[in-house]
Amino acid sequence: PRSISRLLSCPGTIAASVGNEEQSSVVAEAGIEDKTLQKKFSEVQKERREQAQRTVLIHCPNNINEKKFLKYLSQHGPVNNHFFYESFGLFAVVEFCQKDSIKSLQNGTHTPTQSTEAAIPFKSRFLNLRLKNPSSQVSGQPFVQTTNQSPPSSKKLFELLIYAESIEEQLNTLLKAFQLTEENIRLRHLTCSLIEDIAAAYFPSCVIRPFGSSVNTFGKLGCDLDMFLDLDETGKLDVHKNTGNFFMEFQVKNVPSERIATQKILSVIGECLDNFGPGCVGVQKILNARCPLVRFSHQGSGFQCDLTANNSIALKSSELLYIYGSLDSRVRALVFSVRCWARAHSLTSSIPGAWITNFSLTVMVIFFLQRRSPPILPTLDSLKSIADAEDRCILEGNNCTFIQDVNKIQPSGNTETLELLIKEFFEYFGNFAFNKNSINIRQGREQNKPDSSPLYIQNPFQTSLNISKNVSQNQLQKFVELARDSAWILEQEDTNQPFSSSRQPWGLAALLLPPGSGHTSLSRKKKKKPMSEKVKGLLASIKSNSPDSSTDTSGK
């Protein structure tokens, strides 16, 4: 209701009920409250981008008075939405109703002058609010209510899980605790928009688009922010002015390959971010990777950012995951739990290497749900077969067509519970013939592996690529063993009884316990990994962390 009034007060803006914990991020992303009217991915992205362009990020003094702050800002036009959060200081995200307000605000903003250092006068939308009388500045707790941008601690998570009433409720609780909040989604789009302003210094009509878990409905609080620089002009050309016998081309510089062009562009943008990007620190140019990227931290938003160029296939695969995540409420609940489980057992890592990735795990869950009877998720080929003419999409010669409107997809008749599904997931992959079969969500069935990679998961759009090419036999073996262990734990009657053993970890909580602590399963008792295994794993990761193999498929 609050969101509706906001919507009415500011025409053309997204209705979003900030702070409503009950609302799933799918719905929040879609910006609507009625699930039967899901927006298309491209519409959501367009609205979020436009919203971000009317937004500023302000570092505030801790003792700020919210009312006075808003009054001060409204001099420049009505404020549609705002929230505060803490991250090495107090920050405010302020969304105006109109873009013009930002110009007005910037016109009254000073470039700081310091006696010892010199400022690079780059005028961005990342601002610092100062009190005229600094002596009244106090440190300590902020005076305003702040929103949370980080995931719960494992202690908090265990508490939440232990007090749930069923495994089903545990999975949904975990989802709610980890999913991106409305505020966090806004902050992600705002960060991309701020980076876009910097890249626009070179390429005025460029777009920085977020992709990956920030937008595919599978993002966990604290996950990295993947973005790419889109310089593609196709679709923006004014065809009406292109009649007659001629057409015009820009004079350009040529380089030997697309890859070199990408490297050159990312190189100068990396320099830009490093030299005058407010808040951009630790800029690393990783240009020799298969998919060249610039990695940096954005202070203020606190995001670890990966910037690539022309990565439209990865954006399309984010859209596909968005469709799968929006189709059935069980999908996200299952994926979040599997991802947390993998993280808890160090199957995934923030360091690139021979580990399985969250992206691969998500595709494995989708595949598993396609294999249920009746299927919970449709195959990619069937999403392609019901596509309309407007859905047609060919990228770099790959057919990436599938239906974009979730509302046109028939819901599944399968009514299996999350408790059954998680157990069956571990059974299924604990016994999967990884040595001979590959995972393929396009057809929704196993196929013979085309090469000897330990884990072969076909890239849904670049079908000759394996998205888990980096995974070593050791890591796959570890995954299989843990999956078997977990299936075994879930089969034990007593661990699945919420109230049986005086608030001992049960159900999902028992699965998330790190090896060696508390709960002991059969195989864990008999095979506690010797230290050398860990060392081996690290060495393997360092080896495969050479620039050329760390990001070996199109992702980054």
The span from the CA of 178 to the CA of 343, in Å, is 13
Q: Is residue 314 at the binding interface for ligand CTP, with CB under 6 A as the rule?
A: yes
Q: Which is nearer to Mg ion, 127 or 187 (CB)?
A: 187
E strand spans, 36-89: 55-60, 79-86
Q: Is residue 197 at the binding interface for ligand CTP, with CB under 6 A as the rule?
A: no
How far is it between the farthest Cα atoms of the chain? 83
Token readout for 70 is 């808003």
Token readout for 9 is 């007060």
Question: In whole angstroms, how close is the CB of 223 to ligand CTP at the nearest point?
Answer: 4
Question: In whole angstroms, how close is the CB of 185 to ligand CTP at the nearest point?
Answer: 14
Q: Which is nearer to ligand CTP, 223 or 323 (CB)?
A: 223
With a CB cutoff of 8 Å and minimum separation 6, the contacts of 133 are none
Pick from 81, 170, 181, 357: which binds ligand CTP (CB under 6 A)?
A: 357
Taking CB under 5 A as the binding criterion, the range among 37-45, 108-116, 183-191, 213-221 that sits at the site for Mg ion is 213-221
Task: Identify whether the C-beta of residue 136 lies closer than 8 Å to the C-beta of residue 127.
Answer: no
Q: Which is nearer to ligand CTP, 15 or 221 (CB)?
A: 221
Q: Is residue 184 at the binding interface for Mg ion, with CB under 5 A as the rule?
A: no
Q: How many residues bind Mg ion (CB under 5 A)?
A: 4
The site string for Mg ion over 220-239 (x = CB under 5 A, - otherwise) reads: ----x-x-------------
With a CB cutoff of 8 Å and minimum separation 6, the contacts of 219 are 25, 179, 180, 212, 213
Pick from 47, 183, 196, 226: which binds ligand CTP (CB under 6 A)?
A: 226
Q: Which is nearer to ligand CTP, 126 or 359 (CB)?
A: 359
Sign of torsion, CA 520 521 527 529? negative
Q: How many residues bind ligand CTP (CB under 6 A)?
A: 19
With a CB cutoff of 8 Å and minimum separation 6, the contacts of 298 are 191, 194, 195, 225, 279, 280, 305
Closest CA to 417 of 377, 376, 378, 364: 376
Q: Which 98-137 positions form the footprint of ligand CTP (CB under 6 A)?
A: none
Taking CB under 6 A as the binding criterion, the range among 212-220, 253-261, 280-288, 417-425 that sits at the site for ligand CTP is 212-220
Length of the chain: 556
317 contact choice in ligand CTP, Mg ion, none (CB below 5 to 8 Å, kind-dependent)? ligand CTP
Pick from 213, 217, 379, 521: which binds ligand CTP (CB under 6 A)?
A: 213
| DSSP letter assigned to residue 410 | P
Q: Is residue 213 at the binding interface for Mg ion, with CB under 5 A as the rule?
A: yes
Which H, E and C letters describe 428-463, residue by residue?
A: HHHCCCCCCEEECCCCCCCEECCCCCCCCEECCCCC
The crossing angle, in degrees rounded to 10, of helices 167-178 and 154-162 is 150
467 contact choice in Mg ion, ligand CTP, none (CB below 5 to 8 Å, kind-dependent)? ligand CTP
425 contact choice in Mg ion, ligand CTP, none (CB below 5 to 8 Å, kind-dependent)? none
Q: Shortest Cβ contact with ligand CTP: which residue?
A: 555
Binding site for Mg ion (CB under 5 A): 212-213, 224, 226
Binding site for ligand CTP (CB under 6 A): 211-213, 216, 219, 223-224, 226, 314, 317-318, 357-359, 467, 553-556
